[in-house]
Structure 1
Amino acid sequence: MKTTFVSLALFLAVVAQMVASMAVITNPVSSTKGKGGKKLSVVWNDDGKSPKISDWGGVNVFLAVGSQNVQYKLQQLGSNLPVTQTKGSWKVDPSIGANSKSYFIRMEGTKLGSDGNPPMAFSARFELSNMSGQFNSTVQNAANGKEGAAPSSSTTGSSGSSSTSSASSSSTSSTGLSGAASSSKSSSASSSSSTTSGVAPIYLNSALVTVGAIAAGVAAFV
């Protein structure tokens, strides 16, 4: 297990960039009720401050769960989207997790900042039902915020990733995403239920931001 923690210098750089720029995800919001197997609408905009979304390179959109410290990308919805795009609608894979109100959207730019990390933005936590998978205990703990105050709303972090490590040992299909937690039929003989495993969490400094501080325009998450 290899872990790299966010340095103080990186933390200060992230905070400074967050103050300067805010990409805002306006949908989904905390009252959103999506369903596995159905399309989920994601809408975002740019506050016009530097660095603008036009400086992100491309935009990757992920469906995720996690805490302020540790997050898991469960499904990549959009890949290298043009920076001029401000919305999208994608089908939610029901096998990635359980029915929960802990899901959120995580957006990342493809162009790294001067600190070596991508610009990021986060939505509010929202509910997904009609899901057929299950979270393992590691992912569930992160979703419950036991590894740090849980995010609750739209937030923009500029930099983010800082560490990856394997979080589960049970066999399951993996999305291959960094920090991804894929959920599907487990091959374990002791259980036939779907489990979220093969997970590599992304660790973030809990002091970076408080997701949800801004569902109305200012958000801080990871």
Structure 2
Amino acid sequence: MIKVFLALVATASPALAELSMTAPVAGTVCTGGQACAVTWNDNRQGPSLAQQGNCTIALYTGGAQQQTFLQPIAYPQSVNVSEIQSISFVVDPAIGENSDQYFIRFSSLTLANPTSPTNPYLSFSAKFTLSGMTGTFNSTVRNQIASASATPSSTAGGSTSQTSTGTVTRASSSSTTSRASNGTNNAAFPRAVIGTSTGSAGVLVAGAAFVVGVVSLF
């Protein structure tokens, strides 16, 4: 069943969109079972990447006020977004269906929401498409998508920060997808490759532990 996972999310505040997503953006198509790149930079329009610091990163669907956690990318571990600007993860095809309603969410562990200090500062990619998917959205997720009056995606910048509270649910294998696999418990898709902006070194995230070493990126 779907259960409440976290109460964090918000209405959009583009003025604070300092973490600018360069991939994925609107129009991006990633494929289930294949690598999907996530890249970002500092657009210098709000708090710096250094201020945002360590962030968890995950794949979500839903709207601005209600969202569903689908797959961890750097979670519950984190990456320092000022030191690293690229990460690649393999999309678990069973976490959802073919749709253009997916997005990446960054949640800062070091910077608080300026209008709600008990909550973290959040940044989002634009909504993008996943194809080659084998899962099925349940009614809760479909309602989140259908009822969204606003989304966590921006226009040209590809990034929007969120500054008030809302509801986040977490997908379970029995409801949001047609077979077991929200990415957290599926051993085939728990890992992400994290690298510097030059792609020369990084960290392999596997399950609950970091394995540090030189890896080949992109």
Task: Using structure 2 for the length normalisation, give the TM-score.
Answer: 0.65
- Structure 2 gaps of 5+ residues are 183-218
Of the candidates 71, 74, 95, which is equivalent to residue 75 of structure 1? 71
One-letter amino acid matched to 1:149:
A
Are positions 1:56 and 2:56 aligned together? no
Deviations 1:115-165 (A, max 9, x none): 122122111111111112111011012123x1433444333224354445x
Of the candidates 153, 156, 159, which is equivalent to residue 155 of structure 1? 159
Equivalent residue number for residue 194 of structure 1: 179
Equivalent residue number for residue 212 of structure 1: none
One-letter amino acid matched to 2:171:
A
Q: CA shift at 1:32, angstroms?
A: 1.0
Larger RCO (CA under 8 A, 6+ residues apart): 2
- Structure 1 gaps of 5+ residues are 165-178, 198-222
Are positions 1:119 and 2:121 aligned together? yes
Tell me the C-alpha RMSD between the 2 structures. 3.3
Separation of aligned partners in 2, 1:140 and 1:82? 33
Matches within 5 A, 1:1-150: 15=13, 19-20=15-16, 22-78=18-74, 79-83=77-81, 84-113=83-112, 115-144=117-146, 146-150=147-151
Residues 122 and 162 in structure 2, CA contact (< 8 A), matched pair in contact too:
yes
Q: CA shift at 1:180, angstroms?
A: 2.2
Same amino acid, percent of matched pairs: 35
Runs of 4+ with >6 A deviation: none
Residue 110 of structure 2 aligns to a residue whose secondary structure is: coil
Residues 100 and 128 in structure 2, CA contact (< 8 A), matched pair in contact too:
yes
Deviations 1:94-122 (A, max 9, x none): 11111111111111111241512212211
Residues 128/57 of structure 1: CA separation in 2 closer, same or farther (3 Å cut):
same
Residues paired across the two proteins, number: 169
One-letter amino acid matched to 1:82:
N
Q: Which segment is superposed worse, 34-43 or 103-112?
A: 103-112
Separation of aligned partners in 1, 2:59 and 2:135? 14
Of the candidates 135, 157, 171, which is equivalent to residue 181 of structure 1? 171
Task: Using structure 1 for the length normalisation, give the TM-score.
Answer: 0.64
